[in-house]
Amino acid sequence: MSALKFRIVYCTVNKNNPDDHRPIYGNDLYEKVLRQVIHDAIDYLPCKDVNIYLDSCSFITMDRFRQIVSEEASTRNINPKKVHKVSSQQNKCIQLVDFIAGAVRSYYEYSDNSISKLDEKISVARRH
């Protein structure tokens, strides 16, 4: 993986004590983190025309996902060509995202430092 060209943008939230000191869970938490990651990732895109994929999940509807992408992209003149939810079993990029999400979770929950192997790939690591 370290030989591949990609950038990592992630966000972690202490759901029991986030920035506004009001606990946040479930779909609201998912949407907050998703919006933050999309916002941060857009700043590191090498071009204006992009495809944005999300792992298939029930935490957010396709319409809401597209709305978030549209709102974040419009503020920075990004043109989302494709915005889709896809199965990680069918998409290598989503499989990579799953691996990175697992490594980030292990770092914060279990002090497992596996994510450090990809430090040079991390563009934004935001913790709320």
Average pLDDT across the chain, whole number = 86
Q: Residue 45: is it exposed, middle or buried by C-beta count within 10 angstroms (0-12/13-18/19+)?
A: middle
Which residue in this structure is represented by tokens 């992209």? 73
Q: What are 80's two structure tokens? A: 């989302």
Q: Per-residue pLDDT tens for 8-39?
A: 888 887 767 666 667 777 888 889 889 989 99
Q: Whole-angstrom Cα distance, residue 88 to residue 90?
A: 5
Give pTM, 2 decimals.
0.80
